Amino acid sequence: MIAVLQAKAAGLWTRAHIRNNVVAGIIVGVVALPLAMAFAIASGARPEQGLYTSIVAGVLTSLFGGTRVQISGPTGAFIAVLAIITAQHGIAGLQIATLMAGVILVAFGFARLGAVIKYIPNPVIVGFTAGIGVIIFVGQWKDFFGLAPGPAGLVVAVNVGVIVAALLFMRRMADAVNVEQHLDTTATSFDILGPKPDSGVVIYSIEGPLFFGAAEKLERTLAHIQRPATTLILRMGSVPFIDATGINALEEMVRDFKRHGASVLLVELRPNVRYKLERAGVIAQIGEEHIVDTLDNALRLTKQSRKAAAAKPPVDA
């Protein structure tokens, strides 16, 4: 009885608040009770059944609700669903469906899934509401015009809308990912590497999430530089996260570069991205010494590796 306890803690059980509470209850009742009977008729039930449901649900919500400011009442959103259930399974089926919905809501509450609603796009919610209005309007044609409109799959439309919105979002996210060659306007690489900073050293920046929708862009961009480059430096400071497909694409790219005798350095990794790469074994494949915090250090490491390679005596055939 959280709502009751909240009201008591707020001091709303005193005489000073009785009048306001009674007036509020009357206003809610005047609005809710006629709607409850109308929605019951539209759902295929009797008007008194809607009246009983509104009273019982209102009392239970006020006593056991999660907040004292919550107001419960009949909603037209359920007409499209309840009318189909009543037509196919009768009032007994409607009661079972109601109990099942209650159990599901309680389970969602314990799992704290209420915040998931923020991931539902607003056009889907607006479309759902508009669709309900259309279904209620069309549903009255039978009584007003003597017509028999066919069933409308509103739940299917919502599912399709969420899927389409998710696909469009992933496409836009993939388009927002940039894999571009780094142009050193500060001449840092020239100062560190010497007069030929671009001889075999290629620097690329990845901006955006490296997920399954953008992994192909990384592979396509870096494919043409695998053979001529001796060192690839990837700046990943603007990569907020990476998924399994992105990890696999990065791992394949590292394997191809090593196959051609080139080395790969990862620069400016975020902690969460580095953690995933460590768990996937990519860090071990690249080498811990090739994970560098800044571009300057990566260039210095490249210069040292070149000097060390040049100081080695040639191997006689």
- Residues 18, 63, single domain; the answer is yes
Query: Is 212 a domain residue?
Result: yes
* CA 50 – CA 60 distance, rounded (Å): 15
- Residues 154, 182, single domain; the answer is no
Cβ neighbours of residue 221 closer than 8 Å, sequence gap 6 or more = 179, 180, 204
Q: What pLDDT is recorded for position 313?
A: 63
* CA 95 – CA 186 distance, rounded (Å): 72
Q: What pLDDT is recorded for position 192?
A: 55
Q: Domain of 302: which CATH number? A: 3.30.750.24
Query: Is 198 a domain residue?
Result: yes
Query: Is 100 a domain residue?
Result: yes
What DSSP character marks residue 114? G
- Residues 248, 183, single domain; the answer is yes
Q: Mind listing the pLDDT tens digit for each residue in 55-107?
A: 888 888 777 777 777 777 777 777 777 888 888 888 889 889 888 988 998 89
- Residues 182, 169, single domain; the answer is no
Query: Is 54 a domain residue?
Result: yes
- Residues 182, 164, single domain; the answer is no
Quick one: which of 59, 77, 85 has its CA closest to 3?
59
* CA 179 – CA 206 distance, rounded (Å): 5
In percent, the amount of the chain with pLDDT more than 90 equals 7
Burial of 54 (0-12, 13-18, 19+ CB in 10 A): buried
Give how many domains the chain has, as a whole number: 3
Q: Mind listing the pLDDT tens digit for each residue in 231-261?
A: 888 899 989 989 888 898 888 888 888 888 8
Q: 146, 176, 206 — which closes off a domain?
A: 176
Q: What pLDDT is recorded for position 191?
A: 55
Q: What pLDDT is recorded for position 317?
A: 44
* CA 154 – CA 128 distance, rounded (Å): 7
Query: Is 133 a domain residue?
Result: yes
Q: 176, 195, 221 — which closes off a domain?
A: 176
Q: 176, 201, 224 — which closes off a domain?
A: 176
- The tokens describing 24, both together, are 């509020």
- Residues 101, 6, single domain; the answer is yes
Q: Mind listing the pLDDT tens digit for each residue in 138-183?
A: 777 777 777 766 666 777 777 888 888 888 888 888 888 888 887 6
- Residues 20, 71, single domain; the answer is yes
- Residues 186, 270, single domain; the answer is yes
Q: Mind listing the pLDDT tens digit for each residue in 183-228?
A: 654 445 545 555 454 567 888 888 888 888 888 888 787 776 655 6
Q: Quote the domain boundaries for residue 272.
A: 178-310
- Residues 10, 109, single domain; the answer is yes
- Residues 170, 184, single domain; the answer is no
Query: Is 217 a domain residue?
Result: yes
- Residues 101, 183, single domain; the answer is no
Query: Is 103 a domain residue?
Result: yes
Query: Is 246 a domain residue?
Result: yes
- Residues 97, 145, single domain; the answer is no
